[in-house]
Amino acid sequence: MNAPRPRPGIPGPYEFPQSTKFTLANGLRVIVAPMNRLPLVSVIAVVDAGASGDVAGHEGLAMLTASALSEGTVDRDGPSLVEALERLGTTIESGADWDEASVQLTVTPSRLEDATALLAEVLTAPRFAEGDVNRLRAERLAELLQQRVEPRGLADERFARVVYAPNSRYAHPSGGTPASVRALTVEQVQDFYAARFSGATTTLIVVGDVTPERVRPIVERYLGTWSRPLQATAEVQATGRARTRDVHVVSKADAPQSELRVGHVGLPRTHHDYFPTVVMNAVLGGLFSSRINLNLRERHAYTYGAHSGFDWRRAAGPFVVGTAVKTEVTDAAVREILLEIDRIREAPVSTDELDLATKYLAGVFPIRYETTGAVASALALSTVYGLPDDYFSTYRDRITAVTRDDVLRVARAHLHPESMQILAVGNADAITEPLAALHLGTPSVTAADEGEDG
């Protein structure tokens, strides 16, 4: 007999660090959040230069450019930059996701000015040596090829292609495809940098044992004159590939089990239903105790774990249920996933389910923001998505204000069984006919090495 699950407690008081904002004459925005718990300062430069801005055929360019930033500057090659950072007791990280590029580091307060000078050098005068860019491109190619060997990576890539229209940037991986990455050049990296990186597209977030009065002159000194003309970028078209429910099988005969993805185009991050949708998803598949995980893992023992989620982006990212199941229960697992999606659209969730979800989400909120780096990352996201100033201070109240009726309303509004794309990577000989017998649509079968450039 299973012991009863512990009930969630009442979340304790918590205040997200207050911040001060100002803008330099060149358009660079600055956010300073004093947080004096430890003698540390985290600095993140967020640039509006994410993968969403890649043009067709150049997928992966934003991520390659951001990665190459930390490989050296005009005045320092890679080893010299690393040595300078080591003298300050820090490292620098750069990268990009769908909506932003970023460069970040953490230092002690006494080294803030020297560290900001180095970060500014990386941002404003990158080296982009051909050897460094070629090495990063080769590393990315190896990662992409490895992902295609693994059922999980293959499923994620193919799922994006069946959910979004072919001309949507979201139909292709944020890091590019083997074909697009292989074709990227140093000149394209330099051109992308010149078109997207400037004070006017950058926000600098400084969190830790500092004050706005100390930060402002430092930022003005090292980034106050950084300015260049920029090219406008088109908005991402997050249109779906199909309006009907389809079943897709990716044949991988050596797969030990079936990797499943079920979903459709979701919502943009700034959608007004964000909070009730987060709670709805927590009940459906966002928590260990969620309906989908309990069904597939504990009731039927089909899997070690299953989850659902909305991938929040500036435009509408995907909603997806993901799991890996034994080959012989692939069809049964799909049926149970769809049953749970139907069930949460049919009637209000129970009071206990709502209570567990809201108290969990409100309870873990402070834990996520215990470090200067985590607070800086949160403020970076608020900048990228233009969230209101009171977003963090009201987050827990807005989560706990979600009602059972709210959950039912958003489940009906934002989950669309009639247009679900169902994708399975596995042994096609074993799973195609059982999937067809579900009468969800005639499965289309493709090879694991089919498409893009194989």
Q: What confidence tens digit (pLDDT) does each residue in 400-422 have?
A: 999 999 999 999 999 999 999 99
**Beta strand residue intervals within 266-369, DSSP E:** 306-310, 318-325
| Phi–psi pair at 212, nearest 5 degrees | -60, -35
Q: What is the mean pLDDT of residues 195-210?
A: 96
Q: Is the pLDDT assigned to residue 254 strictly greater than 90?
A: no
134-168 exposure pattern, b = at least 16 Cβ within 10 A, e = fewer: eebbeebbeebeebbeebebbbbbbbbbbbbeeeb
Distance CA 116, CA 108 (A): 12
Confidence class of residue 1 from pLDDT cuts 50, 70 and 90? Answer: very low
Q: What is the mean pLDDT of residues 58-85?
A: 97
**Token pair of 206 as six digits:** 């400084």
| Pairing, β 258-265 against β 421-426 | antiparallel
Tell me the CA end-to-end span of the chain in Å, nearest whole number: 50
DSSP string, 179-201: HHHHH--HHHHHHHHHHH-SGGG
Distance CA 155, CA 242 (A): 18
Confidence class of residue 453 from pLDDT cuts 50, 70 and 90? Answer: low
Rg (CA), the chain: 24
Q: What is the mean pLDDT of residues 195-203?
A: 96
Give residue-wise pLDDT tens across range 361-370. 999 998 899 9
pLDDT of residue 255: 86
Distances (CA, A) of 112 to 90, 166, 214, 241: 11, 46, 10, 48
Q: What angle do CA 325, 326, 327 make, to 5 degrees?
A: 110
104: which strand partners? Answer: 44, 93
Q: Is the pLDDT assigned to residue 145 strictly greater than 90?
A: no
pLDDT of residue 235: 82
Q: What is the mean pLDDT of residues 371-391?
A: 95
Residues in CB range of 388: below 8 A, 6 or more apart: none
pLDDT of residue 454: 41
pLDDT of residue 408: 98
Q: Is the pLDDT assigned to residue 399 strictly greater than 70?
A: yes
Give residue-wise pLDDT tens across range 326-355. 999 999 999 999 999 999 999 999 999 999
- The order of strands in the sheet holding 421-426 is 306-310, 318-325, 258-265, 421-426, 246-251, 444-447
Average confidence score pLDDT of the chain:
94
* CA-based nearest residue to 312, from 347, 265, 279: 265
Distance CA 217, CA 325 (A): 57
Give residue-wise pLDDT tens across range 96-123. 999 999 999 999 999 999 999 999 999 9
Confidence class of residue 7 from pLDDT cuts 50, 70 and 90? Answer: low
Does the reported pTM lie above 0.95? no
H or E stretch at 47: strand 41-47
Give residue-wise pLDDT tens across range 256-278. 899 999 999 999 999 999 999 99
The owner of tokens 């106050």 is 224
Give residue-wise pLDDT tens across range 31-50. 999 999 899 999 999 999 99
pLDDT of residue 446: 95
Confidence class of residue 6 from pLDDT cuts 50, 70 and 90? Answer: low
pLDDT of residue 11: 64
* Residue with more model confidence, 453 or 231: 231
